[in-house]
Amino acid sequence: MKKLLLIILLQSLNILIGHCQTDTLNKLDSNGLKQGVWKETYPNSDFEFILANYKNGIYDGEFKAFYSNDKIGLNGNFKKGKIHGDHFTYYQSGALKRSAKHDNGEIVGKVTTYYETGIVASETEYKNGKPNGIYKAFYSNGSLRIIHGITNNIATGSFKQYYENGNLNIEGQHKDGKEIGVWKKYSEDGTLFDENEYHKLKKFEQ
Give the per-residue pLDDT at 34: 96
Residues 103 and 143 in one domain: no
From 109, 127, 145, give the residue that closes a domain.
Answer: 109
Q: Give per-residue pLDDT as tens, 26-44.
A: 999 999 999 999 999 988 8
Quote the mean pLDDT of the chain.
88
3-state secondary structure 109-124: EEEEEECCCCCEEEEE
pLDDT score of 45 more than 90:
no
Note down the domain range covering 72: 26-109
Domain identity same for 137 and 167: yes
The dihedrals phi and psi of 27, each to the nearest 5 degrees, come to -100, 140
Give the residue from 78, 109, 140 where a domain finishes. 109
Residue 48 has pLDDT above 50, yes or no: yes
126 plus 171 within the same structural domain: yes
Torsion sign (Cα): 142, 148, 149, 154: negative
How far apart CA 111 and CA 129 sit, in angstroms, is 11
Both 127 and 97 in a single domain?
no
Same domain, 98 and 33: yes
Among 20-34, 38-52, 131-145, which stretch is predicted with the lowest mean pLDDT?
Answer: 20-34
Structurally, how many domains does the chain consist of? Answer: 2
Nearest by Cα to 78 from 99, 52, 109: 52
pLDDT for residue 161 is more than 60: yes
Examine the fold and report which residue of 50, 82, 109 is the final residue of a domain before the chain moves on: 109
- Give the pLDDT score at 113: 99
Give yes or no: residues 55 and 90 share one domain. yes
Looking at the fold, whether 105 and 134 belong to one and the same domain comes out as no
> What are the Cα distances from residue 27, in Å, to 15, 37, 41, 89, 91?
20, 8, 16, 27, 31
CATH number, domain containing residue 126: 2.20.110.10
Predicted TM-score of the model (pTM): 0.81
